[in-house]
Structure 1
Amino acid sequence: MQPDEKILQKYAQVMVRYAINNGAGINKGDTVYLVGQECSKNLYMAIAKEIYTAGGNIINGYMPDNIKENSLSRFLLQNGSDEQVAFFAKPYWQGLVDAIDHIVFIIAEPDIHVFEGLPSARISMMNSARAPYMAMREKKEQEGKLSWTLCLYGTPSMAAEAGLSTEAYWEQIIEACYLREDDPVAKWKKVQQEIETIKHKLDALPLQKLHVKGQDVDLHIQIGKNRKWLSGGGKNIPSFEIFTSPDWRGTNGHIYFNQPLYYSGKRIAGVKLVFENGLVTFADAAENADALKEMIAQENADKVGEFSLTDKRHSRITKFMATTLFDENMGGEFGNTHIALGNAYKDTYTGDMSTVTTEQWAEMGYNSCPKVHTDIISTSNRTVTATLEDGTEKIIYADGMFLLD
């Protein structure tokens, strides 16, 4: 099953006329690095044509499908030397980052189990090799010269992993991205304004710490000074979450996640984490615990880089989709709570990011982990109580909704 041409055109309009440039849309003359696998060709072409129509330029990142029977990445992991697996062409990637204004990723997994049976440590080595590229991107983004955005193209493999038919999987995409609206770009701008209203109310509260409490969670999060909350603003399509990067040092307690995650091509399910003074002191999973522990063993991946909440009143996502982009924005009965282990989002800082030194980021409790930023999601009911700077408490989230005056 593939969506019809009209749906794809609207999808491309959302990505180019809204999502690019942090919700402002593309400017004439901008250069876009467009990344996707061959299974997403019809959406890739629709987005490319929309970029050209809007006066933009394209650097193509069109790749062969990564399937187990014929995967170059799998072949490299099985047969390459450590030096080959960890290879990083710095001049190439630096030149690419220098040349582009925006990045559009089309997430499309033709074989979600492509790395099944391979050692987690080997996969981590390959993933970690791209850390310098992520640092290059982050630097340019902090300077306000680069934006990125993600979207999803449904495949039979991803649908099967989620326990859905391909048609039902695409139905979630179409509904979540407002692709049946007459003007989906205008709809996204309206929804973003509503989410921004909640964000501004959070920013106006003198928050000191949060207490997340539910049947399977009892977790304390220290917000930290000079923080603000962010919402998607085009960075992800769809995006309904409101998030910040807390002071990692003030994370204490335990949390269980009822949604699986995918890391290094492996499904990790039934995750439980325990934190003491910001560090993960216990980590286990019912499925692929070795991959979870391999991830956490990366430098600074045992610390929180993000805390996020989604209001169920905005999200139309009601099903597990087997991809973080959608699962971290799930609505359903209770919205969702998620944290990310690893790298913090420095654009949650209220000041000028470009003036902050590495030492100052560390002093403020922003976690630095270019190799890892992994979201782990729970959709169980929970209440979030804020402690304000004067010591008073206020419930800001319950039953999947923000409670802000």
Structure 2
Amino acid sequence: MFSPLVLERYADVLVWALDASRPAPLRRGDIALVRFDIAALDLARAVAARLVDRGLHTLHRLNRTPGMELDFFEAADDAQLGFVAPGSAELHAALGASVHLLAPDALTHLAGIDPARIASVSRAKKPLRDILERREQQGVFSWTLCLWPTAELAARAGLSLEDYAAQIVRACHLDDPDPVARWQEALERMRELRAWLDGLEATQLHVESAGVDLVVTPGQSRRWLGLTGHNIPSFELYLSPDWRGTRGVYYADQPTFRSGNLVRGARLWFEGGRVVRAQAEEGERFLRDQIAMDDGSDKLGEFSLTDRRFSAIDRFMAMTLFDENYGGANGNCHVALGASYPSTYAGDQDDLTPERRRDLGFNTSALHWDLVNTGPKTVTAHLSGGRRRVIYENGEFTC
């Protein structure tokens, strides 16, 4: 699908991303996990070779195929749904890096499965995610995600496989002779925008568009992040708000595929920080079951904006990794239900104890589900002294 040159560039960018998402680059002797779908085998090999050359201990994990996932969820009993392999906690406690190469061959293969069964697996794995989150807070773990084109993705996006692959090449700067340099340049520009947003010290953000009238409260001790290396590509600027200040209505005009299910036209009503009503044009049962997954799954864990000047993505890609970075004519806003990002805490990460997280309104959940709106919108920041400032309109930040 990709030429050998593009493949090599892709692997270079992913290894750069692992270094960019941590305080100091990976060191010889660190442990790295490469997790991949079978269609992305060539890229997994190229990434692993680079990590071995760096002196890392490299592990490889092949994801279940869609057929294997379906067989599992159809037949597994409660004990099997909640099973965590022996040694998993010890491995996660030792990992220095993780790369996940997404190349799905099916996107709705679990549509007939009771969503509660899918949610039970997510809850069982949450302690492992908590381990990695703590290691990331300590600066000793980094991760990144990327996408490999498949016929299923292209068909769901309404593109030919060749056009789908071309979108990935453009979005990830793989058509540039030095894509790592392009990403480093973008990182510096993002840092300038982050500093501007942090300097506003907004007390509220009001998002207005067709179908959206949402107020989000950034909260105390927050900072904006963007292009952290965690996702390739990544053009969004985001923070984890104080969930308690969320109110209003949000509409996702882009479909979303999650856990083998399709949800289209999701609309959420918030009061007192929680979802009090949820509708969807398609997949409403799955949406409601996901929101009921645990005590934090009906609260906001993330608020994000993408400036269209950064992103070359101008087509629906049927994959959140790309759709949450959509540029197009109007940029995009997305919110995530569920888990927050402790890395958006503005203080010393060592001080962000579970108690402090709770007091500051950082949400905790086994869920993290991004829902995207790409329509024209205005975002107004409420500042100290009653002042207001439009910070985003026409798909661009206004600084």
Once residues 106 and 25 of structure 1 are traced to their aligned partners in structure 2, the CA distance between those partners, rounded to angstroms, is 21
Question: Within 5 A, what are the aligned runs for 1:276-295?
Answer: 276-295=271-290
Aligned residues of 1:12 and 1:46 also touching (Cα < 8 A): yes
| Range moving further from structure 2, 92-101 or 306-315 | 92-101
**Structure 2: gaps (5+ residues):** none
Aligned residues of 1:18 and 1:26 also touching (Cα < 8 A): no
Once residues 318 and 47 of structure 2 are traced to their aligned partners in structure 1, the CA distance between those partners, rounded to angstroms, is 24
Once residues 154 and 178 of structure 2 are traced to their aligned partners in structure 1, the CA distance between those partners, rounded to angstroms, is 27
Match of 1:11 in 2: 10
Deviation, 1:13, is: 0.4
Closer, same or farther: CA 163–25 of 1 in aligned 2, 3 Å: farther
- SS for the counterpart of 2:197 is helix
Identify the match of residue 270 of structure 1 among 253, 265, 275. Answer: 265
Once residues 16 and 341 of structure 1 are traced to their aligned partners in structure 2, the CA distance between those partners, rounded to angstroms, is 29
Does the alignment pair 1:105 with 2:100?
yes
Does the alignment pair 1:202 with 2:201?
no
Deviation by residue 1:20-61 (Cα, 9 ceiling, x = unmatched): 451775443332111002211111111111222233220111
Aligned residues of 1:238 and 1:325 also touching (Cα < 8 A): yes
Match of 1:80 in 2: 76
| Range moving further from structure 2, 383-392 or 347-356 | 347-356
Closer, same or farther: CA 4–141 of 1 in aligned 2, 3 Å: same
Deviation, 1:95, is: 1.4
Deviation, 1:215, is: 1.7
Once residues 353 and 31 of structure 2 are traced to their aligned partners in structure 1, the CA distance between those partners, rounded to angstroms, is 29
Once residues 293 and 116 of structure 1 are traced to their aligned partners in structure 2, the CA distance between those partners, rounded to angstroms, is 14
Once residues 271 and 395 of structure 2 are traced to their aligned partners in structure 1, the CA distance between those partners, rounded to angstroms, is 27
Once residues 296 and 36 of structure 1 are traced to their aligned partners in structure 2, the CA distance between those partners, rounded to angstroms, is 28
Identify the match of residue 343 of structure 1 among 332, 339, 344. Answer: 339
Once residues 34 and 300 of structure 2 are traced to their aligned partners in structure 1, the CA distance between those partners, rounded to angstroms, is 30
Match of 1:117 in 2: 112
- Which residue type is aligned with residue 126 of structure 2? A
Deviation by residue 1:250-297 (Cα, 9 ceiling, x = unmatched): 111111110011222101010001111101111010001000000000
Once residues 394 and 328 of structure 1 are traced to their aligned partners in structure 2, the CA distance between those partners, rounded to angstroms, is 24
| Range moving further from structure 2, 99-108 or 125-134 | 125-134
Match of 2:303 in 1: 307
Runs of 4 or more consecutive aligned structure 1 residues displaced over 6 Å after TM superposition: none
- The RMSD of aligned alpha carbons is 1.4
Deviation, 1:189, is: 0.2
- SS for the counterpart of 1:366 is coil
**Structure 1: gaps (5+ residues):** none
Once residues 27 and 340 of structure 1 are traced to their aligned partners in structure 2, the CA distance between those partners, rounded to angstroms, is 33
Once residues 286 and 264 of structure 1 are traced to their aligned partners in structure 2, the CA distance between those partners, rounded to angstroms, is 18
Does the alignment pair 1:167 with 2:162?
yes
Once residues 25 and 36 of structure 2 are traced to their aligned partners in structure 1, the CA distance between those partners, rounded to angstroms, is 20
- Which residue type is aligned with residue 326 of structure 1? F
Does the alignment pair 1:361 with 2:357?
yes
Once residues 55 and 87 of structure 2 are traced to their aligned partners in structure 1, the CA distance between those partners, rounded to angstroms, is 25
Deviation by residue 1:283-324 (Cα, 9 ceiling, x = unmatched): 010001000000000121110000000000000001111111
Match of 1:327 in 2: 323
Once residues 381 and 21 of structure 1 are traced to their aligned partners in structure 2, the CA distance between those partners, rounded to angstroms, is 32
Once residues 352 and 325 of structure 2 are traced to their aligned partners in structure 1, the CA distance between those partners, rounded to angstroms, is 31
Match of 2:251 in 1: 256
Once residues 178 and 55 of structure 2 are traced to their aligned partners in structure 1, the CA distance between those partners, rounded to angstroms, is 21
Match of 2:50 in 1: 50
- Which residue type is aligned with residue 52 of structure 1? V
Does the alignment pair 1:156 with 2:151?
yes
Closer, same or farther: CA 63–18 of 1 in aligned 2, 3 Å: closer
Aligned residues of 1:19 and 1:237 also touching (Cα < 8 A): no
Deviation, 1:159, is: 1.1
- SS for the counterpart of 1:186 is helix
Deviation, 1:110, is: 1.5
TM-score scaled to structure 2, two decimals?
0.96
Aligned residues of 1:109 and 1:157 also touching (Cα < 8 A): yes
Once residues 109 and 250 of structure 2 are traced to their aligned partners in structure 1, the CA distance between those partners, rounded to angstroms, is 30
Deviation by residue 1:86-138 (Cα, 9 ceiling, x = unmatched): 1123x511111122211100011012222132221112222222111111111
- SS for the counterpart of 1:280 is strand
Match of 1:59 in 2: 59
